[in-house]
A = this chain, B = another copy of it.
Amino acid sequence: MDINERKLLILKAIIDDFISTAQPVGSRTLAKNYPLGISSATIRNEMADLEDLGLLQQPHTSAGRIPSGRGYRMYVDTLMKHSALGRNQQEKIRALLMSNMIELDDVVKQAVKLLAQITGMTAVISLPNFNLSKLENIKMVKINEQKVLLILVSDSGEFKTIPLGINSSNQQVLDMITDAMTSRLRGLTIKDITLRTIGTIKSDLSEYGGFIDYLMPILRDTFRDIDQVEVYVEGVHNVLNLPEFQEVGRAQAFFDTMESREKLCEVLDSGDGGGIAVRIGPEIGLDELADCSMIKAAYKVNNEPAGRIAVIGPMRMDYGASVAVVDYIRETLSEIFSGINL
């Protein structure tokens, strides 16, 4: 038995219905609510075939059918309607994201909030890894007798501040040191900085020997420790509105997963870099999310792939709408971050 046009039409109708009602859908309701032009009996036969093909499944004998993972996959790949985002929602997104924010972080935080709010699911976004951007400038500012603020500026205009507990020193000395560091380190990524690199700086500054000996180990440790990728999550609690999360245990497991930065990173970073990706159930690659789906995309900074943006929700999500939102936000972010030093 092979799959034909009509079977696909029925599959689409079933999935559409299930997505909006969260109830197994039977032949009668299908015949009634969708203009398929065939009777429920015929639909029944086709549904049995679709089940044999592994695209549908039955929770129990006398229930309707629900889509299987493979069913959703086929739906997403070939059946679903790719709706574009409404004009007014586009406006809203642009307005909020383009309202004069100075820092990339702020824009990204706003974006993830928006994404969660619009989709009613959980949104996740990762920031470009600071480690991988090239250093442009290094500064140290004396805050008080015990504290110095280290400022690392990247060539894309992002910066990172790191407070250091360093005993008294004067600003001139700090400036000399950071000037030397900047000339040695400019153009390198943080990952590139090795013990040797730091050693060369020391030799430039023999006059401040003692202080340098004190400072360098601290800087070495600092550079070594800047490696966490920032991930922002929003709308975790939204899932409580969905029928599939009505058991507290289920919800709790989801929350736990969403609190694990590593798991999220793993899930975000897996797979192709390119366009927009829809991961269904086990495709996500994480047991805890085996009955969820994820839509993710990479946004760009200066036309280079930078961070990832994703929506996570039940398998039964409105793929069409969600893809549209993720795509539009990805596009808007990439546009905002294109070619400008914020």
Within the complex, the shortest CB–CB distance from A100 to chain B, in Å, comes to 7
The answer to the question of A324 belonging to the interface, with a C-beta cut-off of 8 Å to chain B, is no
The answer to the question of A147 belonging to the interface, with a C-beta cut-off of 8 Å to chain B, is yes
Chain B residue at minimum C-beta to C-beta distance from A156: B144
- 1/0 per residue, CB under 8 A from B, across A219-242: the answer is 000000000000000000100110
CA distance A245 to B245 in the complex (A): 14
Contacts of A251 in B (CB 8 A): 240, 248, 251
Question: Within the complex, which residue of B100, B147, B149 is in contact with A161, where a contact is CB–CB below 8 Å?
Answer: B149
CA distance A121 to B100 in the complex (A): 39
CA distance A306 to B159 in the complex (A): 30
Copies in the complex: 2
Contact A100 B141 (CB under 8 A): no
| Contact count band on A | 20 to 34
Contacts of A303 in B (CB 8 A): none
Question: Within the complex, which residue of B151, B255, B341 is in contact with A237, where a contact is CB–CB below 8 Å?
Answer: B255
The answer to the question of A163 belonging to the interface, with a C-beta cut-off of 8 Å to chain B, is yes
CA distance A145 to B248 in the complex (A): 52
The answer to the question of A252 belonging to the interface, with a C-beta cut-off of 8 Å to chain B, is yes
Within residues 154 to 169 of chain A, which ones have a CB less than 8 A from any CB in chain B? 157, 159, 161, 163-165
Instruction: Assess A102 versus B147: contact at CB under 8 Å? Given A141-B139, A141-B141.
Output: yes
The answer to the question of A246 belonging to the interface, with a C-beta cut-off of 8 Å to chain B, is yes
CA distance A241 to B251 in the complex (A): 11
The answer to the question of A136 belonging to the interface, with a C-beta cut-off of 8 Å to chain B, is yes
The answer to the question of A182 belonging to the interface, with a C-beta cut-off of 8 Å to chain B, is no
Contact A153 B161 (CB under 8 A): no
The answer to the question of A103 belonging to the interface, with a C-beta cut-off of 8 Å to chain B, is yes
CA distance A55 to B157 in the complex (A): 63
- 1/0 per residue, CB under 8 A from B, across A239-263: the answer is 0110001101001100110010000
List 16 additional contacts besides A141-B141, A161-B161, A245-B248; criterion CB under 8 Å.
A102-B147, A102-B163, A139-B141, A143-B151, A143-B157, A143-B159, A144-B341, A146-B157, A147-B157, A237-B252, A237-B256, A240-B248, A240-B251, A240-B255, A246-B248, A251-B251
Q: List 18 A-B contacts (CB under 8 A).
A: A100-B165, A102-B147, A102-B163, A102-B164, A137-B144, A143-B151, A143-B153, A143-B157, A147-B342, A161-B161, A237-B252, A237-B255, A237-B259, A240-B248, A240-B251, A240-B252, A246-B248, A251-B251
Q: Lowest 5 CB-CB distances: which A-B pairs, in order? A: A102-B165, A240-B252, A237-B255, A102-B163, A240-B248
